[in-house]
Amino acid sequence: MPVGYTQLPELLPVAGVRLASVAAGVRYAERNDMVVMELAEHSQCAAVFTRNAFCAAPVIVARQHLQQTAPRYFLINSGNANAGTGVPGLAAARRCCVALAEVAACNAVEVLPFSTGVIGEQLPVERMEAVMGPALQQLSAQGWSEAAHAIMTTDTVAKGLSRTIRLEDHSLTVTGMVKGAGMIRPDMATMLAYIATDAKLDRDVLQQLLEQAVEGSFNRITVDGDTSTNDACVLVATGAAGNAPLRPGSEAYDIFAAVIGDVCRQLAQLIVRDAEGASKFVTVNVRGGRDREECLQVAYTVAHSPLVKTAMFASDPNWGRILAAVGRAGLEQLQIDSIRMYLGEVCIVRDGGVDPDYREQDGQQVMSRDEIHLRIELGRGDAAEQLWTSDLSHEYVRINAEYRS
């Protein structure tokens, strides 16, 4: 069960977006595993993709199509990543786009493909082609919830949220869904994330807004330190709300950008809350660095330490593991006497060693919580950063050992 999250809330329709979920039998039996997402004409789309050199075939094709024109459809499948599949994989991704375009009466470049699942297996295109017609017949503005379930792989729950705000006499809706539970250190976005709004924004402004939001959200989570071959995060603006285009520098834009940032942050955190086998949601906050980069360097070293993560799973206040991780993070001229470390509100390290007032039972109380806040004060500057991670459990090993079974 995800930490602090029980079930998918109501996902509000976004004017100009319709979705359908169908069972194509890509990998799973008797469950929906393919989603078609239709965007109204003149919608704007921004996207960021994985930086993994072995990026999946759909990532390559989606990038190419997005450079040529604004998309009208997204085609998403779960159960098969179509990654590590070479030239046949690229041909399969393009064939899927052509097949949907023929049924939808649009150009193939107006279709963006997305896949998630097992790497190294060829995509069963024929099964997907067989249900594209029925999928288009089922398109509905109410289809968000079904789609959030259909894109799941090792996720234990569907993940998404909606927000509404009123700006300049217009009511604006933002709805997003995300999937991902393992192979998570996005380094750009996350496994798969789709966010849509009926607000009107120009394409370049939308791209700038997405990149800014991703940096403080999806680029600040890690489950296991592995960047997927298929990561993609997409932001769509249909303009159906009828507002004047939101532009940087205006108060309305700043308010809207804050909402998008918050939606991305909460979606990113849902991934960590539903991390494979996780029982803890951990915030790692590093302050007092010379710059943001070294704060992240320390934060990721701590978050990726198997010893720290297993101590979190055991609710063991073994603060020596945290101290060791900070010490090996690679910061030059690190003055250990200036560092302070906290578990929640409890100071565990100061002046180069254990805090004289620290008591094991106080640390134990913090570590027994489902949500743990770890703060590290470097004492060498004014920069600060934080990220979110999970513990490392027996269940994580089982899930990944049996993933292809």
CA separation for the pair 339, 289 (Å, rounded): 10
Q: Which residues, including other chains, have CB under 8 Å from residue 301's CB and lie 6 or more apart?
A: 325, 326, 328, 329, 330
- Which residues fall within 8 angstroms of residue 73, CB to CB, at 6 or more apart? 36, 37, 38, 39, 100, 101, 104, 106, 110, 111, 112
- Is 315 within 8 Å of 364 (Cβ atoms)? yes
Q: Reply yes or no on whether 190 is catalytic.
A: yes
Residue of 164, 205, 163, 196 lying closest to 178 (CA atoms):
196
Place of tokens 């070293």: 301
Q: How many CB atoms lie within 10 A of CB 63?
A: 14
Could you say which of 116, 190, 197, 222 is catalytic?
190
Give every strand in the sheet of 159-167, ordered side by side.
Answer: 44-49, 232-237, 192-197, 170-179, 159-167
43 near 227, Cβ under 8 Å?
no
Of the candidates 68, 48, 40, the one whose C-alpha atom is nearest the C-alpha of residue 196 is 40
Residue 263: partners with Cβ closer than 8 Å, 6 or more residues away: 161, 163, 174, 176, 195, 213
Q: Which residues are catalytic?
A: 190
